[in-house]
Structure formats: C-alpha cells, structure tokens
Structure 1
Amino acid sequence: MIKKIFTAFTILALFSCNQEGNKEETTVENKTEENEVVVTNHSYARLNQVRTLHIDLELALNVQNKTIDGVARHRVKNEGFDKVYFDIKDLDIKKVTLGARNNETETQFEIGEYDSLLGSPLIVDLQVGDLFVNVYYSTSPNAEALGWLAPELTGSGKYPFVYTQGQAILTRTWIPIQDTPENRITYTATVKAPEGMSTIMSATNPTELNGNNEFRHEMKQPIPSYLIALTAGELEYRKLGKNSGVYAEPHMIDAAEKEFKDIPKMMIVAEELYGKYLWDVYDVLVLPYSFPFGGMENPRLTFLTPTLVAGDGSLVSTVAHELAHSWSGNLVTNASWDDFWLNEGFTVYFENRIMEGVYGKEVADMLAIIELQELKETIAEMNAQGNEKDTHLKLALDNRNPDDGMTDIAYGKGAFFLKTLEKEVGREKFDEFIIKYFNAHKFGTLTTEDFVKYLNENLLTPLNVEFNTEEWIYGEGIPDNIVQVESEKFAIAEKLANSILEGKGMPKDLKRADKTTQEWMAFIRAFDGKLDTNKMMAIDKQLNFKGSGNSEIMSEWYVLGIKNNYKGIRPEMKAFLTKVGRRKYLEPLYTTLANTSEESLEWGKSVYKEARPNYHAISFNTVDEILGVN
C-alpha cells in the first residue's frame, strides 16, 4: 500500500516504553478469563483458543441503502474452548448459528463494549467440537471500509460503484472476522449484485463480464483479513500477458491498457529476482477517483488510483510497488502493525529493483532519491513535534490507530536499511538471502524480532559481517552509514531551479517533454517552498504544471503555489481536490492551506465542503482533523 504522509496535524502519542522495551515480542499470551477484554494486535480474537481457518461469504449488495447483507461462515480450529471471539465494528448481527450449511442450530452470542477505534468483540458460545460458526449480519451505511459511489460519480453515469479498503483494521466493518494480520485464512464468496454491475475480488474472477448478477470467487492461498477485497460496478477487462490483465470502467479501459502495458515485463523481472509468482494471476483494477490510496496490494487483484493514468507511463512505479507486495506483505506478512516496515520497507526496496530491471538504474536512483527526500522531511516533522520514537522502524502502536504507522518511516527508512545492507554484503549475497527469506516464511507471518534473528543466522554471522541492525530498527532518525544515491539528472534540474531563484532569468525553452516526472519533482522541490508568483506564472505559461494532468507534478506545484499566494492555481486546484480522493495528495494540500493563512484556510474549507462527499472515509477522516471540521 502507498504510504500515509505524516503532517503536523497528525497527533501521535509518545511511546510509553524505552528502546529496550520496543524489542519485546508484540504478541502476548491471551488470558482466558471469560469477562476480561483481551486486545492483541488491535484485535479481540483469542487465536490461541479458537481461530478461523476458512471463511465462506454469502453477500448481497444493496446499493440503494449502501449496505451489504451477509453470512460469514467460519470453519474454525478449536483448541478445546467454549467461546470464539470475532472483531466487529458497526455491524448489525442478526443471529449466529453452529454447524454446516443447512444443518445449523442457533447459538447464544454477546457483543462487548464498543471502542471507537477497535469496534466490539463478538463473543459466540460454542460446543467444544464445533467446527462451523455462521454469523448473519448487515453492514452500516457508514461502514468505514466501504466506498459507495452514486452513478453520477462514475464514468458512464449508468450504475453505482462500490469498493472495499480493509487495511489496517477496517475489514471488521464489513465482515465479522478475526481482524489481525497474525491469522491467515482462505476464503470463498458468492456475491449478488444489481443488474449491470459485475463483482470482482482478491480471488478468482471472471474475465468476461456479462452482467450476471451473481458471482462466485475463491482464494485458495491463505491471506490475512486486511487483504480480503471486493468491488462492484460497470467494468471491462483487457488481457496484458499470459497471467496478467487490467479491469477498469469502460471510459478508462483503453487508457489503462496502454498505461500498464509493461506489467508482464515487471513480472518477469520480479520472478528473476526473487522466485516464482505464487498467486496464479496478477490483475490490476483502476478504481474511481475517490479511492484513498495510490494502490492496494490485494492478492490477484491490485487496486489502483486513476491518478496513475498519466498518459506516458511515468507513474508506474506504484504498480511495481504493488506487484512487489506479492512477495513482501502478501506472501510474507508482518505479524502485527508494529512490524509494518517488514511489509513496506521490503516492498519499496523490491519496487526499486523492479524499476531498475525494466527502466534502468538512472530511473531507479531518481525514485530512491525522492523517497529519501520524503523520509527526511517526515523525520524533521516528527522531531519538531517531539515524536522522535515514531522514527523507529519497530513501533509501539498499542492504544493507537495502526494507520499512525503508515508513514515514510516504514517505507523509506525500511527500504534504505535494506539498501544499506545490500551495499555492505554485496548484491549477489543479499539477493540469495532474500530468496531464502521468502521461501522460509511464505504464507506465514513474523515479527521484527523474528526477522533480526533470521538475518543474523542466515546472512550476517555466516559472512562475519558486523552491522548496526539495532540502530536502524530501534534507533531514532537515519543512521550515518546510510547508502548514498546520486542522480546527475536531478543535479541538473536543481541547478535550473536555483538559477531561476537567483534571478538569472527565465529560460525560454522549458519543455516538459525533455524531463521525466521525477526530474520535474526535483525541480519544484529545489525552490524549497519559496518562489515569486510572477515566476510561477512564467513557468506555468511554458509548462502548465497547474493543469498538466500529472497528479504528482500538480500536487507538488499546488503546495508551492499555496505557500507563495499564487491564486492563479485555484481553479485547477479546486477541480483537482473535488475530483481526486487519494490521501497522499489531499493531506499535504489541505495541511498547507490550513497553515499558510486564515484566508487560505477558509478557501480550503469551502472547497472541502463540496469535495468531502466524493472521498472515502480514510481520506475524509484525515482531512476533517486537518481542517478542524466534522
């Protein structure tokens, strides 16, 4: 998943334990007192007692009232206990039965006290030998995982659209489930949808979408709950390679097919690096603009924002990132959200290797530099707010929203930790280690401490290499031995920006076609937040950054424009904010509007009032906090 940007408006609690305490295992032994609330890894599930092995879903989509009526049939492993604990949030539980389908008996259940972050425990009475637990339920119209779009917010305007976003702990808002990455399950689903809408999931999917209103899906490989994903709408499919393709709304399918044509090449490079792709099919789905992330690595079906469809393939590193998750995150998963860097640090590192293999080292290095710039900015903001311990790779997120850990620390610092290790031991040895690591832990979960032990036993000790692993994982900031990455093209772009800043004149031959997206990002960032409005207008006259259609460039340019009172960008920025729901862009834009002046804050609030209905809960919850509205 693409990271959450850290801002000054994100209030993070300080860690209550010292550095040594952070090294302790996250998973603790569940207590067995019946009336005691036990929370482990942001879940009420007591996995050491009864755990789900497989779930069979029966779902009916009600687009008029924005709800799902469902039955979640859990096949469980019972270690001899008379209760099973599930996570639910804002679900209407109709009844619970025991036994196989059509041979069910109703049982007693209890819903525990509600917590605004975690929801409630659903506690179901069992007989010791029970293997099947069936929960009949309905979702809330305000379920946080569900994004419902009216027809007018889709491309054709004919049919509604719905999608789910479960990471980190939102799956419990649309399925009663043991909602922790520590437990991996298989699943099947039968989904009934209104006429004209097709359903696809992180499972087997039809490639010929004929408008039938009932669909069957199956995921044979065990996955954590946050990777169960569903979407329904008017969709088309195009094949890209022997085991890859793209889904999109009809108006977007041609552009999406062209934009993501290199996915088969990426898959070849990825398999050459770290072994066979084990999910059978790699398809991508281009969602409507309200989708809050750049991508979500749902197995077999990556969800993508349409902001990646830039027309020139310049933003496909996000696809490489989500493909890399097929190994790091999906195949080998963090056991808790405290260990999130194990998912994302490995993935950013792997993404960079894929981009190098397909597009060359120069492109990969530019992407790495951008990642490092964003990491340094995040660390500076965390330090300024007194949240230095949030710059550790190993976090302590108990009693906090696990989304607080979705920052550049997990992504950037995690990736540079691995890049620095690679430099220390050599690429050949490091690749051998990672292949062995993925094979040893495939379809499993592990903690940071598990990884450190494996790293020492299988790489550092055999090679007699001393490395500051503890400093990287449990220390603050960036260690001094971080690997250095340079780019001649970035240096040229930054020199051009400095020349303009110093008043040496505006070049008359600025041509966007001469530069990559990453070079123009380096150019904009080199102004360090300060550029005269007249110069911004002159640059726009040549390059039209404000209306370029490239979301990365536009968002960088808008932030710079807000800081320098360049009101000429406002029509385009309003159109962007009203259309795009990706949190990566919304967070810095609204934060800058809020921080620059009272007038810009009020303008931002007026735009947000119109735009908020188009955003997913993940995005509008963030912006509500930034702007101080609800």
Structure 2
Amino acid sequence: MKKLTLAALLLLSAAPLITAPSTAAPRDPVAPILTTPEARDVLSYARPEIARVTHVELDLVADFAAKEMRGTATLDLLAAPGAREIVLDDKGLVIERIADARGKPLPWKVGAGEDYKGAPLTVTIGAARKIVITYRSKPDASALGWMAPALTAGKKKPFLFSQGQAIETRSWIPTQDSPGIRQTWAATITVPGDLMAVMSGERLTPKGVAVAGGRKRFSFRMDHAVPPYLISLAVGDLAFKPLGPRTGVYAEPVTLAKVAPELDDTERMVTAAEGLYGPYRWGRYDMLVLPPSFPYGGMENPTLTFLTPTMFTGDKANVDVVAHELAHSWSGNLVTNATWSDSWLNEGFTTYFENRIDAIVYGEERAAVLADLSWDDLQRDLKEAAPSATRLHGGPEELSGQLAYTKGSTFLRTIERTVGRPRFDAYLKGYFDRHAFQPQTTAGFLQDIRANLIKGDAALEAKLQLDRWSYEAGLPDNAVHVSSATLAEVDKAIAAAKAGAPIASIAFAKWGTQEWQRFLNGLPRTLPAARLAELDATMKLSASPNAYVRSAWLELALGNRYQPAVASAEEFLPRVGRMLLIRPVYRALAAQGDWGMPIARRIYAGARPVYHPVTVAMVDKLLK
C-alpha cells in the first residue's frame, strides 16, 4: 500500500503530474514519496516524512584550477507542521554559510558519517521554507571527474563531468540524495569562456552568455521532478550535431565526425520506444560522448544521455547502449526505484525494453543475439554469486554482477511469454502511465501487476511465480531463454576449437562484437601458451581496436599467465575507464597471485590518475 508522507498530504490542491515539457509550463507538483517499510532508504540520512527538498536551484562556478564547484544551492522545502529542521546528505562538501531567503543565518551541523555514505547535514530551519547554502566541493568529490587536457580526445582543453548514480550527487550538491525524493531543479553554471557547459535539463542558453573575467554563464532547468542522481553536468570543448528533429549528439570536435554516423538511428529508436510504451515525456533526447575515463557504458540523464567512447567500433554493433539509455526515459527516469534495494526496477525493466527497441529497429535476430548473450551473463553471475546476492529485492547494491539487468529482464520476458506480448505490452504502457514521475518498490510493482494484469487468475499467478522471482535466490524454473541462430553458428566454432581445429579454419572475418564475445568467453578457461599464441597470431587479438574484444581476450590470456598479452594490457587499461571492460582484466590478473598481482598494481599505478573516482574505488578494493 503506497502512502504519501504527512508533508505530501499537505498538498491537497496538487494537480495531476505534468506529462509533457513546455517552456512556459510550471514545474511539476511535488512528487509523492513512499513511506512503506520497504521504501526506507538506508543509504540516505534524509527524513522526508518530517521535511523534504522539493526544488534545487544552483548558481555555481566550475573552477578547473582548484578542481571545485563553488557557489550556492537554494533549496525549496516542504515540511510537516511543527518541523524545525531538515536533514540533507553531505559527502565532503565545504559548507561556508546557510541562511534563509532573507539572508538570516541558520544553525547547521555535520554529523558523524561513513566513508561511502557521507554524513548528515542538519539545518535548523524554524519557519524557513527556502534555504540558501554557500559551499564548495572538494577536489576529490566522488561525483566529479576533472580531466586535464592530456586526458581528453582533443588534448588541448580540460574536461569535467559528473556521475551521480547511485549516491554520489551529495559530493557536489547539498540535497536529500535519495532516488525516492524527486526534485525539480534549475542551474546557472559559470565556466571558462572557451568551454561549453551542458546539463540534464532544458538548455536555456545553448551558447552561453559572456560575463566578466572572460567566462561564460550557462543556464538550465528541469521542470519535471527527478531523483537527484539524474542531475548531471559536463563542461568541455564540445560541438553538436543534430541527428533528427529532437535528437542530436555532443562530443569533442575531434570525435564528433567518428561517432555521429553510428548514432544516426536514434530518432528511429525514440519512435519505436513511443510505439511500445507511450510518449517520450522529456522534450529532446540528446547524447554526450565523454572522454575514455567515463566509468559506465552509458548514463540515462534526462535529455542528455552520457555515452562511453568504447561503444564506437565502426559497425554499430553496440548501439544497444543507446537503446538501453533511451529506455531508461520510461523505466528509471519516469518510474524510479524508490531505493537501491530495488535497482532491478530500473535496470531489469530497461534491459527488457531495450531489447524490444532493438527488435523493432534492427530485427528480431539482432535482439535474440543480445538476449542470448545476456543469458550467458546471467548464468555466470548466478554461478559466481552468493545466494543472497541473487535476489532481485535485497540489500542496497547487493545484487551481484549484472543480475539487476539480466535476472530482472528475464523475469519480464518470462511474464511476456506466459501472457502473450500484446497483453504484456498493454500492461506495461498502463504501468508507466499510472506511476509516471513517481518512485516505486518491488512490493508496489507486484501489487500493480496483480491488480492490472493477473486480476485474480489463480492459475496465472501460479505460472508466473512472482514472489519467487522477486524475493528468492537463484533462477525460477519457468525462466525463458532466448536462443540466437547467429550465436549457434559461433557455438559450432567454439566446439571446433575445443576439438583442436586450427584457429585459421574458423570463419571469423565477418564477426561483429557479439560473435567475438560469445567465442572468446566460450573457450576453455585453461589453455596452453601455444594455443593462446595461435589465437593471438591468427585473430590479432592483442591489437584489436574493439574494446569489447580486447577485454575478453585479455581476461582469457592473463588468466592463463600468457606473458605476451601483458604489453596489450599495459596499453589498454590506462586508456579505458569503463568498469565493465577493465574489471575483468584486473580481476584476472589479481587471481594469478604472485605473477599477476604485481603486474596489475604496476599498470594501475600509472592508470589510477586518469580513472574516475568510482572506478578508482572499484580497482582499489580489487587490488588491496
């Protein structure tokens, strides 16, 4: 049973949620939050049932020399009767002053905290319902990647990007950093005059406004209430290319010509997504291609998806990343997991939705290839994970590997196959409409699907095994596995290789990224040096320009202590910051103990300065 907080119940006159952006429209009414037990966010210090943030307005300067964002954050608050304080999330912010809207100082304190979670910032608000926080971020703020010119594609100008998911926004914005506390926002960002700022909202001054000191000021706003991790910023030497009426791509000028052709199906993807589950409600869908240190494949920031440059391999083999981030515009951005214990509601729904977009734009076999590879990942993670880490609903960030994506999407695919695609599509379209701009929990989803799809059908309930999928470990016995004819041919090549066939006899010349992944990951994990040398010499794996291929090869080769692959790792690991691609390589080296750990630590010592803080934390833990 979903309940509004006492504070939200004060909004008795709230209108229906806005479903289409408009430059003249007021921002969304306060988005409801959930107060049921499973919606309690243990990764936030906020107490939204007492007082909560409804709107954030930033006025910040990006100081590249000091590596800090500094200025003010003005917070609009909603508080229950009698509330005297608000608790915000803070991770290393340097707070200088907090005042009410008239400039009267307000008492505040930062409490004891934790390295990962940060600390509570408690402000005594009295009757104030707007507070102004003057502050700056620290140079090592975990959400911010400050890059020297040498670490960019153009090599001439610095670059900055933020990455707030899951709980890193609190390191550069003082707010209630919980996905269940949705907030509208606006921002004015001042940057060096030769750089451009872009954010995950409406771009009010696309070219910036010149201000004193040879700088430019850029203004943005987001009138829809969003979870704070989706407030995102990038500053750099950027150019823009339109791809369609409402789509386009930003990138460094030296990169733009390479990446734009691989993104020219984006408008078709948006149209396909709308045909499945209703209108795209965010206005524009633009993308930003980041420098190589970006730690993820993509990030679904509203109106401005962030993309890794590793996805551009010249063959459009990896544009499923775009389909995935686009799908988040419904699952994740529109309907958001209330806490990170239910991250599958974002990622599992999106992975299923992504595959449906791929099928429409590129055909059912392309979608089958991707689903089949996802099944491989699912089996691997189930085998390697502790049972408790295989439950869709569990501890926050507890799910192992890619299970939020793979087990979650397999769950939805199983429902689709059981009830039929047309019926499930109609249900999902209604689901997104019913919960638009709201947080959601696993319990809330189960309540919704029982009310609007199962409708008391006991036989269907038994077939679907909803509670087993949601709350129990492992994989239920009704799981649907989609097999690909394309990958079945690759499986024949794997079988031949296992039987000792010469590598030169394998017809690999026309393989794309997915075929290579299936082949390399399907080979025996233990191979002699002679066989590895044959693979490398014939397929040119150590020199592959495809980051996916190189990662899979290095994982296999270094896991067998194949010394000739070390030079390839030394070249690859420092220039790729995507965790999905470098984690397996570092892990393979670390597993080789006295041989591999020194190599890993030596390479990492040189690579660490160019990695994003999120990546650094991951590799630090792996190599400790």
TM-score normalised to the size of structure 1? 0.90
Amino acid at match of 1:616: H
**Distance apart, 1:208 and its partner CA:** 5.6
CA-to-aligned-CA distance 1:141-188 (integer Å, 9 cap, x gap):
111111010111112222111111111111000010000011111110
1:462 shift after superposition: 5.5
The Cα shift of 1:546 comes to: 2.2
1:98 matches 2:97: no
Matched residue SS, 2:202? coil
**What corresponds to 1:184 in structure 2?**
182
1:530 Cα shift?
A: 2.9
1:294-324 deviation line (CA, Å, top 9, x unaligned): 1111100011110011111111111110000
User: Aligned to 1:53, what secondary structure does the other structure show?
Assistant: strand
User: What's 1:561 paired with?
Assistant: 557
5 Å matches for 1:9-408?
A: 25-28=37-40, 40-80=41-81, 81-99=83-101, 103-128=102-127, 130-205=128-203, 209=207, 212=210, 213-382=216-385, 387-397=386-396, 402=397, 404-405=398-399, 407-408=401-402
Corresponding residue SS for 2:61:
strand
Q: Please give the per-residue CA displacement for 1:509-545, whole angstroms capped at 9, x wherever unaligned.
A: 6343x22211121111221313333333333334322
The equivalent position to 2:415 in structure 1, one of 418, 421, 429, is 421
CA contact (8 A) 2:184 2:222 kept: yes
1:493 aligns with 2:493: no
Measured in 1, the distance between the counterparts of 2:209 and 2:576 equals 28
Cα distance, 1:547 vs structure 2:
2.0
Cα RMSD between the aligned structures?
1.6
Whole-Å Cα distance in 2 between the matches of residues 433 and 591 of structure 1?
Answer: 41
The AA in structure 1 aligned to 2:527 is L
After TM superposition, give the deviation of residue 127 of structure 1 in Å.
2.3
Is 1:600 matched up with 2:602? no
- Larger deviation, residues 429-438 vs 455-464: 455-464
Distance 2:340 2:155 in 1: 39
Return the match for 1:457 from 437, 451, 456: 451
Matched, 1:572 2:568: yes
Deviation at 1:504, TM superposition (A): 2.9
Alpha-carbon separation, structure 2, partners of 1:381 and 1:338:
20
**Residue 442 (str. 1) matches residue 440 (str. 2):** no
Aligned to 1:5: none
CA distance, structure 1, for counterparts of residue 255 and residue 539 of structure 2: 25
Letter in 2 for 1:26: E
Determine the structure 1 residue equivalent to 2:546: 550
CA contact (8 A) 2:205 2:218 kept: no
Deviation, 1:406, is 6.7
**Counterpart Cα distance in 2 of 1:292 and 1:119:** 21
- 2: CA distance, partners of 1:120 / 1:208: 36
Structure-2 change in CA distance of 1:453 and 1:509 (3 Å):
closer
Letter in 1 for 2:622: I
Cα deviation, 1:61-101, whole Å, max 9, x if unaligned, reads 110111111211001112121111111010110000101xx
What secondary structure is seen at the aligned counterpart in 1 of 2:305?
A: strand
Residues 366, 116 of structure 1: alpha-carbon distance in 2 compared, 3 angstrom cutoff: same
- Distance in 2 (alpha carbons) for counterparts of 1:284 and 1:55: 24
The CA deviation at 1:603 is: 1.1
In structure 2, relative to structure 1, the CA distance for the partners of 1:441 and 1:598 (3 Å cut) is same
Instruction: Look up the SS of the partner of 1:376 in the other structure.
Output: helix
Mean Cα deviation higher: 465-474 or 285-294? 465-474
Q: 1:472 aligns with which of 469, 474, 498?
A: 469
Shift of residue 484, structure 1, vs aligned partner: 2.4
Whether the 8 Å CA contact 1:25–1:447 is kept in 2: the answer is no
- Which residue in 2 is equivalent to 1:32? none
Contact 1:197–1:211 (CA under 8 A) maintained in structure 2: no
Query: What's the offset of the Cα at 1:209?
Result: 4.3
Determine whether 1:620 maps to 2:616: yes
**Equivalent residues of 1:259, 1:311 under 8 A apart:** yes
Greater relative CO, 1 or 2 (CA 8 Å, sep 6+): 1
Return the alpha-carbon distance in structure 1 between the equivalents of residues 52 and 531 of structure 2.
62
2:6 paired residue number: none
AA partner of residue 477 (structure 2): D
Q: 1:432 aligns with which of 419, 423, 426?
A: 426
* 1:20 alignment partner in structure 2: none
Quickly say closer, same or farther: Cα 1:533–1:181, change in 2 above 3 A.
same
| Greater mean deviation of Cα atoms: 542-551 or 322-331 | 542-551
Percent identical: 37
CA contact (8 A) 2:378 2:406 kept: yes
**Whole-Å Cα distance in 1 between the matches of residues 377 and 138 of structure 2?**
37
Contact 1:198 1:211 in 2 (8 A): no
Q: Residue 404 of structure 2 aligns with which residue?
A: 410
The 1:579/1:426 distance shift into structure 2, 3 A limit, reads: same
Q: Provide the rounded CA distance (Å) in 2 between the counterparts of 1:209 and 1:573.
A: 41
Conservation of the 8 A alpha-carbon contact between 1:302 and 1:322: yes
Distance in 2 between residues matched to 1:222 and 1:194, nearest whole Å: 30
The one-letter code of the counterpart of 1:599 is W
Q: Is the 8 A contact 2:554 2:565 kept in 1?
A: yes
SS in 1 for 2:347: helix
Matches of 2:514 and 2:521, distance apart in 1: 10
Provide Cα deviations, 1:571-597, integer angstroms capped at 9, x if missing partner: 222111010011111211101101024
Distance 1:565 1:86 in 2: 49
Conserved? CA contact 2:188–2:218, under 8 Å: yes
CA offset digits 1:390-430 (Å, max 9, x no partner): 11000123xxxx3x447322110000000000000000000
2:529 aligned residue? 533
**2:504 equivalent to 1:504:** no
Matches of 1:432 and 1:454 in 2, distance apart? 13
Contact 2:195 2:235 in 1 (8 A): yes
**In 1, Cα distance between equivalents of 2:221 and 2:501:** 63
Shift of 1:486: 1.3
> How far, CA to CA, are the matches of 1:538 and 1:211 in structure 2?
59
Q: Please tell me the residue identity of whatever aligns with 1:127.
A: G
Asked if the contact 1:348/1:411 (under 8 Å) is kept, the reply is yes
Give the secondary structure class of the aligned counterpart of 2:112: coil
Cα distance change on mapping 1:490 and 1:77 into 2, 3 Å: same
